Every structure is written in structure tokens, then in C-alpha cells.
Amino acid sequence: MNSLWTTADLCDAYGEAVQVCDLQLRHFGNRSAFCGPASTVKVFEDNVLVRQRLSTPGEGRVLVVDGSGSERCALVGDTLAGMAIENGWAGIVVHGCVRDVTALAELDIGVLALGRSPRKCFTKGCGANDVLIEFGAVHFAPGAWVYCDFDGMLVAERQMH
């Protein structure tokens, strides 16, 4: 656990200045707490843009993927998570599914998702980068700070720790 902050402490300290995600996302990566500025991708059952983004320098950011909550296929697996680690991403949040969960649990990266699916997704390249996305009653703007730990996820307009 990150000894410098917890989402509960940030909620107590900043109150209405933080948005708390209402979805009960599950942890799949080996990093239980992570934070960083958001980079956003909006896709539907297609992970080409996710792969493209994770292949660029992450610089400690958190990739927030709005997969419209689809549970029919996985948008991230161990290969993309490994790419994220190599490129310096702090974590990945998926409003959708992941796969290769046994391998993800061994990787030193934070991964949150709705669930899991063994099915791979499409690779057509449809979607949008760096757009305002919303799920779990939270607005994720590119550059907003995302904080995740075992208590949940919250978003702030600026760094809070």
C-alpha cells in the first residue's frame, strides 16, 4: 500500500473536491495502489487505440479506458500490461474486461476492470483518444488525477498528495 496517501484519507481531506467512482472495479495487477494523471481512450470491443497508447511513454500516467462496460471481450491482457510497464505507465483502468488474469496478478502495474473474459476483442482501430469520458458517476478528463487503492477509485482536477 502506498504510505503517502489512501483514497479514504484523500476523501476525508478534500471532500467535494474529489469524485468517487461508484463502480466496484476489481484489482487484477500486482500493484494495489497507484495514481497519476489520466490519459483517456474511448472504444467499444476494440483495443487498437489502447495498444497504440500503451506503446507510447506513459510518464507515470494512468490509462483510463472506457469500453462502455462491455463484458463480451477483453480490452487488456498480459501483453498490453507488459507494454505499459516497459513504457512507464502507473496503471490501467478499464470500464470493461481484461484477460490473462493469472499473469496480470504477477505484473508490477495497477490494473482495475469490471471483470474478465477469455475472448479477444476486435482490432479495427475505432474509438477516440484524449476525450472526456464518464462512468461510475465520475468524469475523467485528460490530465485529471486518478487515485486507486483497495478502498476504491477517485478523481481530482489536480494532484492531491
Q: Which of 66, 59, 74, 72 is nearest to 129 (CA)?
A: 66
pLDDT tens, residue by residue, 3-61: 589 999 999 999 999 999 999 999 999 999 999 999 999 999 999 999 999 999 999 99
Task: Tell me whether residue 1 is in a domain.
Answer: no
- How many structural domains compose the chain? 1
Res 52: pLDDT = 97
SS3 assignment, position 88? coil
Task: Tell me whether residue 124 is in a domain.
Answer: yes
Domain that holds residue 105: 24-156
Alpha carbon 88 to its chain centroid, in Å, reads 14
Res 161: pLDDT = 85
Task: Tell me whether residue 16 is in a domain.
Answer: no
Task: Tell me whether residue 4 is in a domain.
Answer: no
User: Which range among 3-12, 58-67, 80-89 shows the weakest confidence by mean pLDDT?
Assistant: 3-12
Q: What is the CATH number of the domain that holds 82?
A: 3.50.30.40
Res 141: pLDDT = 98
Task: Tell me whether residue 17 is in a domain.
Answer: no
DSSP secondary structure, 13-68, as one string: HHGGGEEE--S-PEE-SS-S-EEEEEEEEE-SSB-HHHHHHHTS--TT-EEEEE-T
pLDDT band at 140 (very low <50, low <70, confident <90, very high): very high
Query: Is the confidence at residue 92, as pLDDT, over 50?
Result: yes
Percent of the chain clearing pLDDT 90 (strictly above)? 96
Look at the chain and count its residues. Answer: 161
Task: Tell me whether residue 118 is in a domain.
Answer: yes
